[in-house]
Structure 1
Amino acid sequence: MSDVLKRDRRVDPATTAFLGLTPQQTLDAVEATGLRCTNVCVQLNSFENRVYQIELHDGSPLVVKLYRPGRWSAAQIREEHQFLNALAQVDVCVCDVIELPKGGTLSQSGPLMLALFARQGGRAPEEVTMAMSARLGAMVARIHQVGVELPVEHRVALNADRLDDTLDWLLDQGALPADLVDRYVETAREIAAVLDERLTQVPRHAIHGDLHLGNLILRRDILHVLDFDDMMIGPACQDLWLLLPGRDEHTLRLRTAFLHGYRQFRDFDTRWLNLIEPLRGYRYVTYAAWLSRRWHDPMFPHTWPNFGTQKWWQKATQDLEDVLAHLDAPVVPDQIDDWAEEGSDLWDWGESR
């Protein structure tokens, strides 16, 4: 473990309250909004926030999300909620944010902010076939149709400056082993420069930002999208490559199906796919910084016990160098097969929820 992770990191009172949150405090915070709850309060899987399934007095289930303090402002969270509401209005299947009895969708409980959402049960997609990839493309395009029109002033932008700032933070913290600093930083700076160049001619708008398969469920065979917590201003490609991150030939074929579905609703210039590798490098660096920033939360060292070790940073450095080596690798296959017989139903509409 690196020395930076051994240091005593003091946290502010709001973070102390967040880390010590109990089910009873959660129920009290919900009831302060004007709702009545039973004693049901089951913690759900979430590293960044605290998320619980609760039960109202009439027996109906809801999900309460208490936001980690210091990450998003109230204005940024409200833009997340506005995005969700706009998507629901055009029948994109999301977890609806609930209007609170006292008005609005965001409540303050002491130092913590919370929101309530409809509970969405379902199962994760088991396999991404060509037909499923086309459905994913259509769904992402419909999200982006809304994102293009959404007025967003407060959310972060995905750009090279943010990557450089994250690197500066890691350096200031002394997070990297001394013998790897130069390799890691020089490689990441090269990736940032390529990202900056390739973003120049690419449109950016509100996107999901963290759209991997773990943030999707199938409910009655309809795709639902979860967790818009990382909503940002960025390129459309960010919401493609996380769903189809591989470099193998099969993944390249899946991308052609994704683009087929996407283009039923919106244009997607194939040249934008040259962002995949620099975006991969961006995610590697921001992921390392995220773990380092959250190390004061006991959940993180318990889940990632090897983070911060020499071996971990060695692998992280090699991963970045691998990105650099693949910056001009193929992103779609040379030949596109006819796969229409696998299915062409691209519709995942909200009325089927």
Structure 2
Amino acid sequence: MTDDTDLPDPPQPPLPVAVQRAAQAASQPSSQPYADLNPDTVLDALEAAGFPVDGRLLALNSFENRVYQVGLDEGTPVIAKFYRPARWSDEAILEEHAFSLELAEREIPVVPPLRLPSGDTLAHHAGHRFAVFPRRGGRAPELDRSDTLEWIGRFMGRIHAVGAVQPYAHRPALDIASFGDEPAAYVLDHGFVPPELEKVYRGVVAQALDGVRAAFERAGDVTRIRTHGDCHVGNMLWVEGQGPHFVDFDDSRMAPAIQDLWMLLSGEREDRVRQLGDVLAGYEEFCEFDLRELHLVEALRTLRLIHHSGWIARRWQDPAFPAAFPWFDTPRYWEARVLELREQIAVMDEPPLWRMPGMG
């Protein structure tokens, strides 16, 4: 008779890859940029910056940075944004602040940072950098309405008229290398794509990026200006009687103007043609639009899709990401990305939404 205590433990089934990566992230506190950003630290930072807080603190939905609504002893609460370490230099953050302040001074409805009692807009506390913003209310705009799209286009034209005056000196440009080549290589080189899908993903992303490059070649040498950079519906607050307010310029960079317009377009082709007409009807009251940039609509959408997967992968050691995107390491996620990119490859071969001058 054998003594069971001498038998080896039965083999255990391997943990899912997502669980393994989450456990690895949790064991590396140095890779957790907000591990020491607790409520006391947030309140102390606001107090040190000159804001008399009353102890009320509400964490808002944000992954890249950490954003809180902070109650004050007097007046309405403020919004405090704590920037992700090492993402932007101080100069890059201040340059973005200066752009949004310039827009606000011209009575364009953006939400710029508040000037602190020190006169600055960026503060440092306990190893963290943060800015404070006024709280603004509003709802999501109704993008199925022509008058809404024209109103948004009007203000976006004003933003771009200012953005074209001078370039950024410290913030990067949106380009194929940083939004396509690099994130695609990162997810492949770091084992995020399941082995059984690696070959097909590698092939389809290479084909998609070839399509992106061809689209940029068709567009030619388009002008890059200071843009919002991430102008989706979640970064616009609609106020009745006032129209849109644009928030969160954190992704602002040098890009073609169409980068701030294409995310307003959705649905079937005929829907997107109509929406584009509505947006440009307002836009061109204040800023001329280069029709060649319409070649870039689906190319920019493709870059955003590729970049999004790379963004999650690069942030995977932040515990907030495995919790928010638990399906990221599953075959189903990457199968969907392959299908998505195949659709984009086909769409990028279609003619632009409007006919270009000189097209037959």
- TM-score (structure 1 length as normaliser): 0.88
Equivalent residue in structure 1 for 2:350, among 323, 329, 335: 329
Equivalent residue in structure 2 for 1:171, among 147, 168, 188: 188
Aligned-pair CA distance for 1:22: 1.9
Structure 1 distance, partners of 2:97, 2:29, is 26
Structure 2 distance, partners of 1:264, 1:64, is 35
Q: SS in structure 2 opposite 1:149?
A: coil
Structure 1 distance, partners of 2:19, 2:298, is 29
Aligned-pair CA distance for 1:299: 2.4
Per-residue Cα deviation, 1:222-246 (whole angstroms, up to 9, x for no partner): 2100111100110011111112144
Amino acid at match of 2:327: N
Distance 1:236 1:245, change over 3 A: farther
Query: Is residue 68 of structure 1 aligned with residue 88 of structure 2?
Result: no
Per-residue Cα deviation, 1:129-159 (whole angstroms, up to 9, x for no partner): 1111111211111111111114411112111
Number of the residue aligned with 2:321: 300
Number of the residue aligned with 1:320: 341
Distance 1:234 1:11, change over 3 A: farther
Amino acid at match of 1:229: D
Whether contact under 8 Å (2:216, 2:296) holds in the other structure is: no
Number of the residue aligned with 2:11: none
Aligned-pair CA distance for 1:221: 2.8
Distance 1:183 1:332, change over 3 A: same
Question: What is the RMSD of the two structures over their aligned residues, measured on CA atoms?
Answer: 2.2
More displaced, 55-64 or 136-145?
55-64
Amino acid at match of 1:227: D
Structure 2 distance, partners of 1:168, 1:195, is 21
Q: SS in structure 2 opposite 1:165?
A: helix
Whether contact under 8 Å (2:269, 2:353) holds in the other structure is: no
Structure 1 distance, partners of 2:84, 2:295, is 34
Aligned-pair CA distance for 1:191: 3.0
More displaced, 191-200 or 242-251?
191-200
Q: SS in structure 1 opposite 2:221?
A: coil
Number of the residue aligned with 1:248: 269
Aligned-pair CA distance for 1:83: 1.1
- TM-score (structure 2 length as normaliser): 0.86
Same amino acid, percent of matched pairs: 37
Aligned-pair CA distance for 1:121: 0.8
Equivalent residue in structure 2 for 1:81, among 97, 102, 110: 97
Larger Rg: 2
Number of the residue aligned with 1:337: none
Aligned-pair CA distance for 1:247: 3.9
Number of the residue aligned with 2:50: 34
State how 1:1-353 maps to structure 2 within 5 Å.
3=17, 6-7=20-21, 8-9=24-25, 13=30, 16=32, 18-162=34-178, 163-178=180-195, 179=197, 180-198=200-218, 200-222=220-242, 223-332=244-353
Gaps of 5+ in 1: 335-353
Amino acid at match of 1:259: L
More displaced, 39-48 or 163-172?
163-172
Whether contact under 8 Å (2:101, 2:112) holds in the other structure is: yes
How many equivalent pairs are there?
333
Amino acid at match of 2:80: V
